[in-house]
Structure formats: structure tokens, C-alpha cells
A and B are shown apart, each in its own frame.
Chain A
Amino acid sequence: MKGPRIVEAAFVLPWLGVALLTPPVTFIVNAAAREAGVPLFVPYLFVVWALLILAAWALSRRLREIDRNAAENSSAPMDQARLDERS
């Protein structure tokens, strides 16, 4: 992934987390757990949680690189700023 794409991905990640951890997705998980007769909800939470952390870890390394390059090129990181206005 190129620089601007990384920033966009970083922007999307927390919203993806919100979508996965709130209704209606949680309703689906609860319903599936009831069907299976296994308490699935808490394990599901922890799996999503761990994946979010993993993604954040991967992204933070790239973002750090992008910012370092931007600082070296001394050109303002416009893409972040612009994306930032949207968030």
C-alpha cells in the first residue's frame, strides 16, 4: 500500500471496529451463539479486539515511516490534513 492509502486505512480502521462491535452485527453474533448453544459473544469480542490491535500495530509502523519521510521531504503531509478534516 502506498502512503495515502495507509492514511485512509488508518482512518477506516476505528470505524470498522465500531461497525463490528455495535448492533446490528452484535445481534447477529448473539443469535449465532444462541443457535450453537455456545457462549460465543465474549470470544468474538476478544478476537475482534486482537485483530484491531494487530492492524493498529501494522499501521502504526507504516504511519511512522510516512511521517518521517514527510518530515525529511519537509513537505506538509497534506493528505493527512485533508483526511483529518473529514474525520
Chain B
Amino acid sequence: MLTPGFVIAVAAFYLGLLFALAFFTDRLAAVGRAGLISSPLVYTLSLTVYCTSWTFFGAVGSAARNGAEFAAIYLGPTLVFVGAYFILRKLVRISKTHRITSIADFISSRYGKSTRVAVIVTVIALAGTTPYIALQLKAVSTSLDTLTLGAARITSEAGSVFGDTAFWVAATMAAFVIIFGTRNIGADEHHPGVVAAIAFESLVKLAALLAVGIFVVFVLKGSGEFNGPLWLDPALRDTPPFSGSDPARWTTLMLLSAAAIICLPRQFQVTVVEATDERHLYMASWLFPLYVLLISIFTVPIAAAGLGLLGEGSNPDLFVLTVPLHAGHEWLALVAFLGGLSSATSMVIVACIAVSIMISNHMVMPLLLRSRWLNLDKRGDLTGLLLTVRRLAIVLILSLGFLYYRVSARSDALAAIGLISFAGASQFLPSIIGGIYWRGGTERGALTGLLCGFGMWVYTLLVPNIVRAGLLPADLLSEGPFGIAALKPESLLYLEGWDPVVHAIFWSLASNMLAYVLVSIFTSVRPLEGLQGALFVNAYQRRPDEQSRAWSGNTALEDLMALPRRIIGGDRAYRLFRDYAHGQGRTIPELVVDAALIAFVERELAGSIGAASARVLVSRVAGGETVSLDELITILDETQQAIEYGRRLEQKSSELEATAAQLREANSRLKEIDTMKDDFLSHVSHELRTPMTSIRSFAEVLLEPSALSDDKRDRFVGIIYEESKRLTRLLDEILDLNRLESGREVLTLERVGAARVAHDAVAAMLGFAHQRGIALEERLPAGDLAVMADPDRLKQVLINLIHNAIKFTAGKGARVVISVVRRGDWVALAVEDEGPGIAPSDMPQLFEKFSRRSSGGEGSGLGLVISRQIIEHHRGRIEVRSRRPRGTLFEVLLPAAPALEAAGPATAARLEA
């Protein structure tokens, strides 16, 4: 029997070897000489962290209990790796492009960098990993006890925590992970020392298992009547190791293990995050399946030999150890122990790193950054804080694992933990596969799916396990919660008689997928989700060498400046940075890219392209984000084009609108004019008709052969003559107006004296006035006032005004006053009567065609219109002032002609000066 001291010394020596290996690898990597570490061989070996102590010892146990089932755990991953060219390559490609740091980061990045998704993934990962770590601790301590004491002690006998082997194992692991897993914060979380140690351990565990297997197959002979190899004893022919497997469980386990090789946090860490080159997958696609084939090739012989050698009653989970031990080969047993130790430690190390990164990046840091009183977003360097958080997270994870182990070690609940953990991790599968092949998956879909799957997993698998560990009342399983049989965790909705794992996988994955797909379909894709979805789904559309980009402080500033230039234009961007630099008392080249500058740029950009896009843009340039610069430029250019196009459209449409408004205006004007024309025509025909009618009727009377006195005949002829004169005058006036309005009539303006023209007009009207008994009174200035006018036309206007004045002034002895005065630059010719005045209601129509003042009976109604036309052609105006009940004043205002005498010398003076 090996002494405990000796075994512990060997184990310590082995772990020391791991420390040294990791240490020197890190040293070599730091100077860039760890070429072997970035080889595909080491990459593939590190993937075998999949083979934990659960599989190292447990595969044989599984074969001894359930037959071929052990192989399903390896065949699922084999199929995934044989098809590595598809899913795995895409995952690695995306993760390299987007600098993914963990599986939580991957899923949350895909769904619009959602913090909520990252948190739920981290919680699931922690819930699935902790019991699994407990399982590893149990495996190590049990195997150690078996090796040294010949039987496994149960924890209560182990006494205090410090007397517990598992405690020291956990403490050593914590030290290892803290030293090599949290040395620094890399942009992409590479840990060369850890990878080297894991690769080395994978060789140790394979060698150990092969050694035991070869011993069983070639050395161990039957002792009874059968003297061939023990495992081929016909008596064992009907034992489980040689049987097939339950088909439902077999298929479920294949699916589960295929999902686990992608989704287990530690597996994602080594396969995707730690990958240095996606071409390593070419070798991994066949070497990893070959490794797991080799590690399981002796499983059946060892299981059969164990059954033959130790009998049914022994613990098949320790056959790997107990078979050589029982056969008297203690050294071989020691090798097997070291193999188991390797499997356990490598799993614990990688799982701790993976989950601690998630806890620090997605749970602790967002909280710390958000809390005001810490003011972390203003502090420059957060690296130290981040590392401390990770170290604490590692201690927490291992403490939880140890606690779970202490609590449940007495029961056999831990044996089932392996599959429970797989089932927990497989809840990530719908979100991942949907995320990289379906652009329609949304954050809320992923969140709902994950929560449903997680809830189902906890209820149907984890809760029963906790019950078996003795932490919850047992009647929960047998009676259901509150005695509701339909809710029994292991036969939900009366799904009786199913294997618990198959049952749980059905409920959790079905609800997960259904929720993910349905909620995604019924929610809209937000911009950032859409962008990330497109980048993830179309991951192959860019070339790998274009994505990697080395930053220096200098290029970062340039890139940061290039962004606004693209969006808001060169000049504005330049001014923006100049003003910002001014505010800091620097020039632009002296600017330092710090959080403040980045926030400033993002804020400025958000005004142009929206906050979400600005965030993506700036965070990419600022480093460690998901979209490459080239891509962004493309997006930007597209946005720019869209904006430009939109602006042009807007311009076009406003132009169109203006044109339409003009057209509408012109159209209504046309209609108005058309109506006016119709009115005019009907007026004209009415005006023409009245004299025509009287002419015709008098002519008819004259034509009748009746006896008319000559006196009467003469009077009738006289009327006909007067009426035709009026007709002619009307037609003349219409023609006149037409000429004036159409602008065909060109007035010849000359320098005339206003008083002279007024005097002529008065002279012309003297007869008519006398006839009406009206006195015409002239008030003319002494020296004449010169205006530029057509004298005949001006006289015509005055005659018309005087005629009207006489006409509307009733009663004999009344006066009409004609005056000419100068008013500033204007010369006013006024005609004032003593008539009844004009009613205010008549004023607006005064200058319209055919509008006669209500009191007036005759006249064409065109006189004032023509007058106004004429005066307007003189650039003058006519004003009316009516003082009811007596008197109306018409005033013609004409611009005064420049003084003749003054013009000459003034011009001369100007010329001389």
C-alpha cells in the first residue's frame, strides 16, 4: 500500500511541474518564442479539457452500468469536429473579428451587446459549472483516498475542512488559476502558460488511461477455467459493457454532448477564445476525434475486467484505479491517479478562467461602472481593478464548488452532475446557432429562450439533484410541489417513465427554442442588433488579414478624427477638434486619446447618426469592439449616401412644392381674370344694348307709315343721333381702355405746365358748367409747376374729373374748384365739388369698370378707370377724399419735373468737382 505522504508528494511534485511549465511558457511567450504553443497540435491537445475526471473515471463506470452509452459522450463532439469546417470555424472567425472574450460575450455581442443577455449567460454558466467543479474535487479526493487507504472515506470521516483532501486540491487550483490565469488583461484573453499546462495534462491523462488499458488487455489474465485475457471471459459476455444502449438516452446524449462541446464555457474558452489561428481547426477536425477515440478505446475492457475482478458490488467509477491496485500494480494505479488528477485540474483551471472572465466582465464591472460614488468611468486605468475582481471571482467559484462538494458528497448525487452540467450549457445552443445563421434573432428572443430553458433545466434537473443531495424535502420529487402531481419535476405534465435527462432535455430545449424563435419573430430588430446580426451571419464575407489591425496611440487619434470627418464633413470636424483642443490649451496633434475625447466624439457623432451607431463607431475605433474599421467606413458611406439622397429628395420635393404653389396661384389668377373678362363682356354687351335698343325702337317708329308730326320726327331722329354718339363714345372708351391696359398705347411724356393744362381743361368745360349753372373756380399758382406728362391725356383726365364734378353737383350757384399746388416732390391737381359726396360703401368700386355712382344716371362708367390707367402710366396716382354730406375731392398726383434752370449748373458743378 502506498503511503499517503508519498502519494501526496508525487501529486505535489506533479502540480509543481505544471506550475513550472506554465511559468516558462509565459516567459517564452512574453519574448515571442513560444512557437510550439501556437501550433495546431497544442491547440488540439488543449481542446481535450473536455475529458475531465468525470469521463476519465466515469466512462468506465458508465460502461459497467449502461453499456455503450459512454461512447455517446464522445461521438457527439466527434461529429461536431468532423464538421468543424462549418459551425466551429464560423465561431472562431467571428470571435477573432469581434475580439470575443467568453461565451457570454459572444451571445451578448450577437444580440446588440446586451448586458442582460450577458448576465443571464453568466448565471447559467456559473450554475452549471459549480457542481461540476464539486464533482472534480470529489473525484480527486476519492481516488487519493482509495489509493492510500484502500477505500474512499466519506467526508464526515475526513473531519475538518483542512483535513479534507479536496480542500487542498481546491486551494492549489485557485493558486494556479490566479497566478497563470489572471496575469494580465489581454485584448483577446490568451493564456499561453495555461494552454501549455492543459496540453501537457492531456498527454498525461491519455498516457495513463492507455497504460491501464494495455495492462488490462495484454497482461491481466483470467484466473479460473478461462485463461485468456480476463475481459474476454465468456462469463462476462452478458454484462452491460457488451450491450447496446437505450435508444432515447443514446440519441439524447449524442445531442447533449455535441451541444456541450460548443457551449460549455470552458470548451468555448479553449476552442474559440484561446484559438490563435482558425486554420488550427483543420488539424483539430480529425485529431480531436482521434484523441477521444483513443481515450475510450479501452473503456469496455477495463469495465469488463473490473466487473470480473471486483464483482458487481464494487464502485465501477473507480475501476481505472482499483483494477491495477487489486492486481497488485501500485505504480500503475499511481499513474492512473495522476491521469485522473490531470483531468480534474485542467477542467477546474479552464472553467475557473472562463467563468471568472464572465463574472468580472459582465456582472461586476458593469455594476461598478454604473455606480456613481465610485466614479470609475473617470478613472484612467481599470486593469488592476479588473484583475482583482477576477481573482475574487475565482476564489468564489472554487469556494462554491467546494461547498457543494462538502454538502453533497455523502450522497451519490454528484455522479449525475456531469450530464446536468452538459444540459445546462446546451441551453446556449439555440441562441448561438440561431445567432450565426439567422439574422432575425433578437435580444428579447434570446433572453426569453435562455430564461425558459434555464428555468426548465433548474426545475427538472438541478432541483431533483439538490433534493438527492438532501438539501430539499424528498416529497418534492414523489408528490410534486404542494402535492400537485402534474408539476413533479421529473415527470412534468404526467410525462411519466422517461429517463430524467431525456425528460429534462425535452422540456428545456423545446421551451428554449420555441421562446427564442417565437419572441424573435414577434419583436422588431433594433439597429445595433441588426448590425451585429448581419456581421455575425455574414462572418465569411471579409478576409481574415483585413481584420487584424495594430493600434498605436498615433493611429488611434487619426482614426478617431477620421470618423467625424466622414460624417459631418472635413471643415466642421476640423473646427470641432480645434475647439476641443483649444479648451485643453493644446493643438490638435498634441491631443491625447482619452475617455473624455472619445465621449466627446461619440456625443458629437450621435447628433448626426444616432446614439447607437455612434457608440458602435467610436467604441470600435477606441478599441476592443465588434466592428472593424473598414466595415464602419462602409456603413458610414452608406449612411452618408442615404443622408445625401434624402437631402436631395427633400430639395426636389420642396422645389416641386414651390412650383405647384406658383401654378396654383397662376391658375387662380387665370380663373379670376377669366371671370373678370366674362363680367366685362356681359357689362359691355349690356351697355351697348341700352342705346341700341332705343335706336332700334325709335327707328321702328320712324319707319311706320303713320302720321308723325315733323316736330316729333325731328326729336326722334335727334334721340337716335344722340344715342349713336353715346354708342360711339362707349366703343371709343372701351378701345381706349383696351389700349391702355394692354400697354399698346405709349404715352409721349414731355415737360408741361400743370396749371396750363388745368386751365385748358377748365376752358373746355366752361360751356357745360354754364349750362348746369355751376361756377368753375381756378386756383392756380403764379409761376407754373412743371410735370412730365402727355398734355392731351392729362387734359382728358381733368376734363373727366371736372365733368363728373359738375354732373354730381346739384343746384345752381354751386362751385367746382380746380387747384394746382406743389407737395414736396409731387404736383397735385385737385378737383373739388360741393356735391353729396361718395358713400363709404361705394368707395372700393369707384375705380372699377362700369361702376356708376348710385346717384349718377348716365356715363359709360369707364371714365374713372381710364383716368386711373392714364395717371398710372404717368407714374402718378389718383386719390379721393369724400366729406359727406358735402363735397368730394379728386386729386391727381404727378411727380414734379426736375427744375430746368437748376439742373444745368448743378451738373456742371459736379463735373468740375
Contacts and interface: CB of A to CB of B under 8 A. Distances in A.
Nearest to A18: B79
Given A41-B68, A64-B282, A84-B90, A33 B244 contact: yes
Interface stretch (B54-62, B80-88, B582-590, B603-611): B80-88
Interface stretch (B192-200, B289-297, B442-450, B457-465): B289-297
B237 A55 contact: no
Contacts of A29: 244
B253 to A, nearest CB: 11
Which residue, B67, B75, B80, B538, has most C-beta atoms of chain A within 10 A?
B75
A22 B250 contact: yes
Contacts of A76: 540-541, 543
A71 B75 contact: no
B283 interface: yes
A54 B541 CA distance: 30
B254 interface: yes
Interface string B234-253: 00010001111101001100
A17 B82 contact: yes
B279 interface: yes
Given A46-B297, A63-B282, A76-B543, A53 B290 contact: yes
A13 B85 CA distance: 11
A15 B245 CA distance: 21
Contacts of B282: 60-61, 63-64
A10 B297 contact: no
A87 B437 contact: yes
Contacts of A71: 543
Contacts of B242: 39, 42
Interface string B524-550: 000000000000001011010000000
Interface in B271-292: 279, 282-283, 285-286, 289-290
Interface in B245-269: 245, 247, 250-251, 254
A7 B86 CA distance: 10
B48 to A, nearest CB: 15
Interface residues of A, number: 44
A56 B254 contact: no
B540 A26 contact: no
Interface in B36-92: 67-68, 71, 75, 78-83, 85-87, 90
Contacts of B250: 22-23, 26
Contacts of A57: 286
Contacts of B297: 46
B293 A26 contact: no
Contacts of A30: 244
A23 to B, nearest CB: 5
B78 A17 contact: yes
A77 B254 CA distance: 31
B300 interface: yes
Contacts of B279: 64, 67
A21 B540 contact: no
Interface of B is mostly: helix
Which residue, B86, B237, B245, B247, has most C-beta atoms of chain A within 10 A?
B86
A11 B86 CA distance: 7
Contact of B87 (A18, A39, A87): A87
Contacts of B81: 56
Contact of A27 (B67, B71, B75, B247): B247
B244 A41 contact: yes
Interface of A is mostly: helix
Nearest to A61: B282
Given A33-B244, A52-B289, A45 B68 contact: yes
A77 B540 contact: yes
Contacts of A52: 78-79, 82, 289
Contacts of B538: 81
Interface string B493-524: 00000000000000000000000000000000
Nearest to B293: A49
Contact of A56 (B68, B87, B286, B437): B286
Contacts of A23: 247, 250-251
A45 to B, nearest CB: 5
Contacts of A85: 437
Contacts of A56: 81-82, 285-286, 289
Nearest to A48: B75
Nearest to B544: A71
A84 B78 contact: no
Contacts of A60: 85, 282-283, 285-286
Contacts of A63: 85, 282
A45 B297 CA distance: 11
Contacts of A15: 83
Interface in A2-54: 7, 10-11, 13-15, 17-18, 21-23, 26-27, 29-30, 33, 39, 41-42, 45-46, 49-50, 52-54
A42 B227 CA distance: 24
Given A21-B75, A49-B289, A10 B85 contact: yes
Nearest to A24: B247
A26 B289 contact: no
Interface of A: 7, 10-11, 13-15, 17-18, 21-23, 26-27, 29-30, 33, 39, 41-42, 45-46, 49-50, 52-57, 59-61, 63-64, 67, 71, 74, 76-77, 80-81, 84-85, 87
Given A10-B83, A14-B79, A26-B247, 15 more contacts: A14-B82, A21-B75, A22-B251, A26-B244, A33-B244, A39-B237, A49-B289, A50-B293, A52-B78, A55-B82, A56-B285, A59-B85, A60-B286, A61-B282, A87-B437
Interface of B: 67-68, 71, 75, 78-83, 85-87, 90, 237, 241-245, 247, 250-251, 254, 279, 282-283, 285-286, 289-290, 293, 297, 300, 437, 538, 540-541, 543
Q: Closest 8 interchain pairs by CB?
A: A14-B83, A39-B242, A57-B286, A56-B286, A60-B282, A81-B540, A41-B244, A56-B82
19 contacts: A7-B85, A10-B83, A11-B86, A14-B83, A17-B78, A18-B254, A21-B79, A23-B250, A41-B67, A49-B78, A49-B289, A53-B290, A54-B286, A56-B286, A56-B289, A59-B85, A60-B85, A76-B541, A81-B540
